[in-house]
Amino acid sequence: MTDLPAGQRLQKVLAHAGVGSRRVCEDLIADGRVTVNDEVAELGRRVDPESDVVRVDGVIAHIDPTRRTVVLNKPVGVISTAQDTHGRQTVVDLVDVAERLYPVGRLDADTEGLILLTNDGALAHRLTHPSHGVEKEYLASVDGNPSRLAVRSLRDGIELDDGMTAPAKVSSPSPGLLRITIHEGRNRQVRRMCDAIGHPVTRLVRVRIGSFTDRQLAPGEWRDLDPAELDQLERSATPDR
Judged by the rule CB under 6 A, the positions of this chain that interact with ligand URA are 107-108, 111, 188-191, 204
The Cα 35–Cα 38 span in angstroms is 5
Burial of residue 71 (number of CB atoms within 10 Å: 0-12, 13-18, 19+): buried
CB 190 within 8 A of CB 140: yes
The nearer residue to ligand URA, 3 or 161, going by C-beta atoms, is: 161
Residue 71: closest CA among 137, 117, 138, 113:
117
CB 184 within 8 A of CB 165: yes
The minimum distance between CB 179 and ligand URA, in angstroms, equals 13
The nearer residue to ligand URA, 53 or 82, going by C-beta atoms, is: 82
Residue 129: closest CA among 238, 56, 205:
238
Q: List beta partners, residue 164.
A: 159
- Catalytic entry in 84, 108, 110, 214: 108
Catalytic-residue membership of 108: yes
The minimum distance between CB 138 and ligand URA, in angstroms, equals 6
The nearer residue to ligand URA, 62 or 191, going by C-beta atoms, is: 191
The minimum distance between CB 119 and ligand URA, in angstroms, equals 22
The nearer residue to ligand URA, 9 or 136, going by C-beta atoms, is: 136
Q: List beta partners, residue 46.
A: 9
The minimum distance between CB 117 and ligand URA, in angstroms, equals 15
Which residue numbers are catalytic?
A: 108
